[in-house]
Amino acid sequence: MLMNRAFTWPRLLGNSSGGIAYGGDYNPDQWPESVWPEDIRLMQQAGVNVVALGIFSWDRIQPAEDEWDFDWLDRIIAMLGCADISVDLASATASAPLWLYEKYPQMLSRDKFGHAINAGARQSWSASSPIFREYALELCRRLAERYGDNPTVTAWHVGNEYGWNNRHDYSDEALRAFRAWCECKYGSVEKLNEAWCSSFWSQEVRSFQEVLLPRHMGADAMVNPAQQLDFERFSNDALLDCYCAERDAIAAICPDKPITTNFMISTDQCAMDYAQWGAEVDFVSNDHYFHEGESHLDELLCSDSLVSSIARRHPWYLMEHSTSSVQWKPVNARKCHGELLRDALAHVAMGADAINFFQWRQSRGGAEAFHSAMLPHAGADTRLFRQVCETGEALKDLSEVAGTTVMPSRVGILFDAQSQWSTEIPTLPTTKLDHWHDVRDWYRSFLDAGLRADVVPLAHDWEQYDLLVLPTLFMLSDSAVRRLERYVRGGGAIVVGYATGIVNDAFQVSLGGYPGTGDGLLRTMLGVSGEEFNILGAVGTAEHVELSDGGMSRLWQTCLTRIDDDAETLAAYTGAGAREWELSGMPAIVAHQYGGGRTWYIGCDVRREDITRFICDQLAPQIGLELGDPRVVSIDRADDAHVFHCVFNRSGTDVELCLTGAPVLLARGSRGQDAVTLHANGVLIMQSPR
């Protein structure tokens, strides 16, 4: 089981101490110094009490190999300190200076084709480069020596979004490091060959010096999935190792201030295995950028739920989000009225005790000039800046929420970054699998049933949940299956999704029928066995298959050919699509009693509304879950004395809520004597004794 470092939360200065941190990335090095006093004045007006400083300022701090310039940093830190704005000081290592790449081009990472990445943006360096490491650590030490005792600096921000631009590196340095990583993992080439099934296509290695990176192998060449998966793991570990080295260089000089690095957890990407990274930070911080449209709030809550689990339910830090549009999508939607505040409060409800934006002042040039910020191009007399100030006020009113814990749900949806990577392998029965998206669909289906689930890493504790859902956990290790078996035997309930448990952690298919992981143990628990996968989508064939319970499948049906006598078929395939694909009458959803617990196997993908119906008709009565109002989502944060009850409107139309008599801390809606009408993006937060 993963163990986290001791949780330490950064101190705030002055009157804010104990409250919610509020601010953003601050890049004063990108502006003339004459702008700084106005920055500080407007930060105070907006209620800003923290900034993340100097994230991309390596070049400014070290303009040449033997030249260091801390004076500007001294001055701005002093000004911020006088204004009681605490500093989360960056290690400034995310973007290395051009002179360094010029001197050591071997520090650049390489793409699949062996081409060196050109310097000129950020994170161009290779995580395996000893030269990068040497210079980065020197910078960390210098910063720690200079600011370790500075009372305004209350936290360290190491790197920035590790792996955003340099997640995969195919350089010779990476090759050397990958070989060493494999040797450390497998110990002998025999073990590696066995795990990688290297006898396939004559790929056995005779020594670790023959191990290769999955570089470009020619058009249409197919990569060994086990090698690819190990490369994903290695790349994650190489970046994590970089972070840990920088963290340790700072901590050796400044041991008493908390250190973090900002994660990128959102449901449309999975760069790192953050369950591992969470164990290496003193407090978890995350960057989250909204999804426009009807999934906006749901997606935010789903991502945050995983962040909160990774933070082990301690408060966590929203290091970046946006006041309005970003500039990196093909079409960049702005936030509508009320969404800025609503999003900030939704993050708070999900456990964030710090609400920060990228960035304080909108850039006038550079690649991010059209990315929104707290202080827009048009200045302070703007709708957006007024909303930023309103949010600062609201967070002050909620200062007592800081330090409380998000109350857990009774349902856990298991997420595993490595399973996500395995669904991204291009040689599966279909390239349309996406574990994270299926987690999100399940999360949203629970919301549609008026229930809230927690998203929990597979590697964490989850035995305390009454029900676990395993959506598209394509890869499941034998030990994970044994753990699940103990959980169910002891009375737990699990729902196993259609493409779950197909390969083990070496990406090998367990034989004897699907889903076979755990050497058949998963099949036994579920009381089913399948022989083939029926994949829809081929041109000229049925686009969907109906289910006898009214559901519909559009991608994947596991052809179940054996059902235990004591298993119960809850839905079977039917209709024209089923006839065409010879599935008529074949079980699609099967329930089974195992030990003291219960299992459900859903052998096909189904629509969100089908999942919701399944939750309402099957899971809720069996587990004893009380269905709520799907138009709103309610989240409680509590400590021993208080409960903060946060309600958000997710319906897009007005929702009237009766007031319980509990004091209202915040209401964004129309308030009557005994009721509040929450408009779209409306929020209600009440406080009551526990």
Q: Which is nearer to ligand GAL, 121 or 662 (CB)?
A: 121
Q: Is 626 a catalytic residue?
A: no
Active site residue 320: yes
Instruction: Please report whether residue 334 would count as binding ligand GAL according to CB under 6 A.
Output: no
- Select from 370, 351, 361, 274 the least CA-distant residue to 313: 351
Nearer to ligand GAL, 289 or 581 (CB): 289
Dihedral Cα 145, 146, 148, 149, nearest 10 deg: 120
Site string for ligand GAL, 458-497 (x = CB under 6 A): ----------------------------------------
Cα 605 from Cα 588, distance rounded (Å): 10
Binding mask of the shown chain, residues 579 to 608, with x at each position contacting ligand GAL by CB under 6 A: ------------------------------
| Nearest approach, Cβ of residue 312 and ligand GAL (Å) | 24
Distance between CA atoms of residues 563 and 301, nearest Å: 37
| x/- map, 423-462, ligand GAL, by CB under 6 A | ----------------------------------------
- Asked if 385 interacts with ligand GAL (CB under 6 A), we say no
For residue 218, which amino acid is it?
Answer: G
Q: How far is the CB of 240 from ligand GAL (least distance, A)?
A: 17
Q: How far is the CB of 262 from ligand GAL (least distance, A)?
A: 7
**Residue closer to ligand GAL, measured from CB, 90 or 547:** 90
11 Cα distance to chain centroid: 25
Q: Which is nearer to ligand GAL, 277 or 474 (CB)?
A: 277
CB of 160 to ligand GAL, least distance (A): 5
In sequence order, the β-bridge partners of residue 456 are: 414
Q: Are 30 and 363 in contact (CB under 8 A)?
A: yes
Among residues 169 and 287, whose Cβ is nearest to ligand GAL?
287
Question: CB of residue 569 vs ligand GAL: minimum separation in angstroms?
Answer: 47
Q: HSE of 110 in the Cβ direction (CA atoms, 13 Å)?
A: 19
The catalytic residue among 161, 232, 424, 485 is 161
What minimum distance in Å lies between the beta carbon of 31 and ligand GAL? 16
In the complex, the smallest distance separating the C-beta of residue 302 from ligand GAL, rounded to whole angstroms, is 19
For 67, residues 6+ apart whose C-beta sits below 8 A from its C-beta are none
**326 contributes a contact to ligand GAL by CB under 6 A:** yes
DSSP assignment letter at 20: -
The candidate with the shortest Cα–Cα distance to 112, out of 192, 218, 202, 210, is 218
Is the CB of 287 or the CB of 299 nearer to ligand GAL?
287
Report the residue number, 78 or 121, with the smaller CB distance to ligand GAL. 121
Q: Which is nearer to ligand GAL, 368 or 549 (CB)?
A: 368
Residue ranges in 109-168 that form contacts with ligand GAL under rule CB under 6 A: 160-161, 164
For residue 416, state whether it binds ligand GAL (rule: CB under 6 A).
no
- Matching residue, tokens 């099949």: 523
What string marks each residue from 17 to 56 as x (binds ligand GAL by CB under 6 A) or -?
A: ----------------------------------------
Residues 227, 230, 232, CA angle at the centre, nearest 5°?
Answer: 110
Total residues in contact with ligand GAL, by rule CB under 6 A: 10
We find the least distance from the C-beta atom of residue 547 to ligand GAL, in angstroms, to be: 41
SS (H, E, C) 204-254: CCCCHHHCCCCCCCCCCCCCCHHHHHHHHHHHHHHHHHHHHHHHHHHHHHC
CB of 632 to ligand GAL, least distance (A): 29
- Taking the complex as a whole, the smallest distance from the CB of residue 319 to ligand GAL amounts, in Å, to 8
**How do 50-53 and 21-26 pair as beta strands?**
parallel
Q: Are 567 and 527 in contact (CB under 8 A)?
A: yes
Nearest to 421 by CA among 234, 573, 586, 292: 234
534's tokens? 């029926």
CB count in 10 Å sphere of residue 464? 10
Nearest to 354 by CA among 411, 307, 295: 307
Indicate the residue among 161 and 441 with the shorter CB distance to ligand GAL: 161
84 to each of 14, 217, 680, how far by Cα in Å? 6, 56, 35
Cβ nearer to ligand GAL, comparing 198 with 324: 324
| CB nearer to ligand GAL: pick between 371 and 650 | 371
Please state the closest distance from residue 356 (CB atom) to ligand GAL, in A. 11
CA distances from 528 to 474, 547, 558, 567, 611 (A): 17, 18, 10, 8, 20
- Interacting positions 162-221 with ligand GAL (CB under 6 A): 164
Rule CB under 6 A: say whether 371 interacts with ligand GAL.
yes
Burial 290-311 (b: 16+ CB within 10 A, else e): bbbeeebbbbbbbbbbbbbbbb
CB of 322 to ligand GAL, least distance (A): 6
Report the residue number, 319 or 578, with the smaller CB distance to ligand GAL.
319
Which amino acid, 489?
A: R
Question: What's the CA dihedral at 122, 126, 128, 131 to 10 degrees?
Answer: -80
- Binding residues for ligand GAL restricted to 263-292, rule: CB under 6 A: 287, 289
- Which of 135, 243, 358, 487 lies at the binding interface for ligand GAL (CB under 6 A)? 358
Task: Name which position in 39, 232, 299, 320 contacts ligand GAL (CB under 6 A).
Answer: 320
Q: Active site residue: 232, 280, 299, 320, which one?
A: 320
Rounded to whole angstroms, the Cα distance separating 528 from 523 reads 6
What whole-number distance in Å separates Cα of residue 336 and Cα of residue 95?
33
Closest CA to 308 of 408, 233, 383, 216: 408
For residue 184, list its beta bridge partners. none
SS (H, E, C) 38-68: HHHHHHHHHCCCEEEECCCCHHHHCCECCEC
Query: What residues are annotated to the active site?
Result: 161, 320
Residues lying near ligand GAL in the complex (CB under 6 A) are found at 160-161, 164, 287, 289, 320, 326, 358, 368, 371
